Amino acid sequence: MAELIYQRQFRTPSSESYIIQRDGRSFGHLDLHFGATEVSGTLILLEEQPDEELLKLVDQIDEDLVVSSDTPREDLLLTVFKGQEIAFYTDDLQRGDGEPVEES
């Protein structure tokens, strides 16, 4: 499996969010939530993955981001989706009436 690059989008005391890149392009999005005894997460992949590759990917995420954190855990609960990015929204790109701001 090609090397994964994790670009952290944000971190809170109990959560982290990442854009995952592989081979120089976006591969997926990962949200992790660290509880008292388990880590829950949502993984959205931009491409279909064979079951064997998906299991390797989950193991790699577990080793790279979950086990390496200082949060003890009894289980990793990860829901995986296949999707595509449609748009990115931010308050900076909207006017008060909800219409997009014209770029100048």
pLDDT, position 91: 77
Residue count of the chain: 104
Structural tokens at position 38: 């388990």
Provide the token pair at 5: 């690059």
- Mean pLDDT per 10-residue segment, the chain (104 residues): 90 95 94 94 96 95 88 90 87 63 58
Give the domain ranges of the chain: 4-93
Q: What is the per-residue pLDDT for 67?
A: 86
* First CA to last CA distance, the chain: 43
Percentage of the chain surpassing pLDDT 90?
Answer: 67
Cα separation of 63 and 4, whole Å?
A: 12
Q: Is 61 exposed, middle or buried (0-12, 13-18, 19+ CB in 10 A)?
A: buried
Amino acid (one-letter) located at 18: Y
Q: How distant, in Å, are the alpha carbons of 35, 37, 91, 103 from that of 45? A: 23, 26, 26, 31
DSSP state of 34: E
Q: What is the pLDDT of residue 98?
A: 58
Amino acid 97: pLDDT: 57
On whether the pTM is more than 0.85, the answer is: no
Per-residue model confidence (pLDDT) at position 32 = 97
